[in-house]
Amino acid sequence: MPTPQRDWSERSQELSRLLARAGVGDRAAFATLYENTSAHLLGVVLRIQRDRAQAEDILQEVYVNVWRAAQSFDAAQSQPLTWLTSIARNRAIDGLRRTQTQPQLQTSLPNPDNEDSDVYDTVADDAPGPLDLLSRASDARALATCMESLNAPQRQSVALAFFDGLSHAEVAANMRQPLGTVKSWVRRALMSLKTCLESAVRRDAGTTPG
How near is the Cβ of 36 to other proteins at its closest, in Å? 11
Return d(Cα 126, Cα 141) in angstroms, integer.
27
Of the pair 93, 109, the CB lying nearest other proteins is at 93
**Among residues 23 and 110, whose Cβ is nearest to other proteins?**
23
Distance of alpha carbon 19 from alpha carbon 29, whole angstroms: 7
**Can you tell me the distance from the alpha carbon of 73 to that of 79, in angstroms, rounded to the nearest whole number?**
9
Interface with other proteins includes 124 (CB under 8 A)?
A: no
Complex with other proteins: residue 76 or 114, whichever CB lies closer: 76
The answer to the question of residue 79 lying near other proteins (CB under 8 A) is: yes
Q: Of residues 19, 105, 123, 161, which one binds other proteins by CB under 8 A? A: 161
Q: Which of 71, 117, 118, 136 binds other proteins (CB under 8 A)?
A: 136
**What span, in angstroms and rounded, lies between the C-alpha atoms of 207 and 6?**
22
Contact flag: residue 133 with other proteins (CB under 8 A) = yes
What does the alpha-carbon distance between residue 192 and residue 119 come to, in Å, rounded to a whole number? 23
Identify whether the C-beta of residue 91 lies closer than 8 Å to the C-beta of residue 84: no
Let me know: does 32 contact 17? Beta carbons within 8 Å: no
Q: Which letter does DSSP use for residue 127 in this model? A: S
Radius of gyration of the chain (CA): 19
* Position 200 contacts other proteins (CB under 8 A): no
Number of residues that bind other proteins (CB under 8 A): 74
Q: Is 191 in the site for other proteins (CB under 8 A)?
A: yes
Residue 127, interface with other proteins (CB under 8 A)?
yes
x/- binding map, residues 2-21, to other proteins, per CB under 8 A? --xx-xx-x--xx--xx-xx
- DSSP code for 117: S
Site string for other proteins, 29-68 (x = CB under 8 A): x-xx-xx--xxx-xxx-xxx-------x--xx--xx--x-
Rounded to whole angstroms, how far apart are CA atoms 72 and 61? 17
Say how far apart CA 122 and CA 125 lie, in whole Å.
8
162 near other proteins, rule: CB under 8 A: yes
With respect to other proteins, which residue has the nearer C-beta, 5 or 145?
A: 5
